[in-house]
Amino acid sequence: TRLRLLLLLGLLLRVAVCSVNTITLCKIGEFKHENLCCLQCSAGTYLRNPCQENHNKSECAPCDSEHFIDHKNRESECFPCSVCRDDQEEVAKCSRTADRVCQCKQGTYCDSENCLERCHTCSSCPDGRVVRKCNATMDTVCDKFDSEPGQSGSQCFCFSKPLGIVVIIAAFIIIIGAVIILILKIICYCKRGENIQLSSTML
């Protein structure tokens, strides 16, 4: 009797373990629905009804117009496609498997992620010295140096504005100091002359 009881308990335990494994272990590309593992819907479709048998296909429906899903899913509806702003142009159309792609119109740019703000007007370079032209995601890059004919801007050893200001101030201080020293020398020379003249008079 005791042996039968142990065998019965072992059998029940084995059945329970098998049942748990069957219920919980879903494969890649599946999702759990109640006690079943259902196949996910493919890109461009959404889940209408889950599967009725384990590891079986679900009932999926294609996305409506102007909606998309770009990956396998168990979504109850597709995502609405993005709409280009009036300062943007469409570079890729919306489809069931891909969102619409927008970018700034020619002559404007936006360098932030997802471009949530409006596009900015491209900068212009003095004398047309353009290193890199403006595009939809980057402003114009200008040559900031005055180079000699036949030389590129990178070969010109010029001061940037902050450094140039520091150099000018330093030169001005040096000149003022030199003038003050010169004035002091003149004063000392004059006083020395007066002292010599006074000594001669006293003699």
% residues pLDDT > 90 (the chain): 50
Within a domain: residue 12? no
In a 3-state reduction of DSSP, which class is residue 61?
Answer: strand
Which of the four pLDDT bands, split at 50, 70 and 90, describes residue 195?
low
CB 136 within 8 A of CB 121: no
Question: Of the ranges 17-26, 90-99, 111-120, 189-198, which one carries the lowest mean pLDDT score?
Answer: 17-26
Within a domain: residue 5? no
Q: What is the pTM of this model?
A: 0.55
Say yes or no: 40 and 70 in one domain.
Answer: yes
Say what the pLDDT of residue 3 is: 66
CB 119 within 8 A of CB 89: no
Q: Is the pLDDT of residue 65 over 70?
A: yes
Task: Provide the domain count of the chain.
Answer: 2
- Taken in order 72, 77, 79, 80, the sign of the CA dihedral is positive
- Taken in order 188, 191, 193, 196, the sign of the CA dihedral is negative
% residues pLDDT > 70 (the chain): 76
- Dist. CA 88–CA 78, nearest whole Å: 24
- Taken in order 149, 150, 154, 156, the sign of the CA dihedral is negative
Say yes or no: 67 and 29 in one domain.
Answer: yes
pLDDT in tens, 150-184: 444 443 344 455 666 788 888 889 999 899 999 88
Domain boundaries, position 35: 20-80
Mean pLDDT of 176-203: 74
Which of the four pLDDT bands, split at 50, 70 and 90, describes residue 56?
very high
Closest CA to 104 of 88, 128, 93, 85: 88
Say yes or no: 132 and 102 in one domain.
Answer: yes
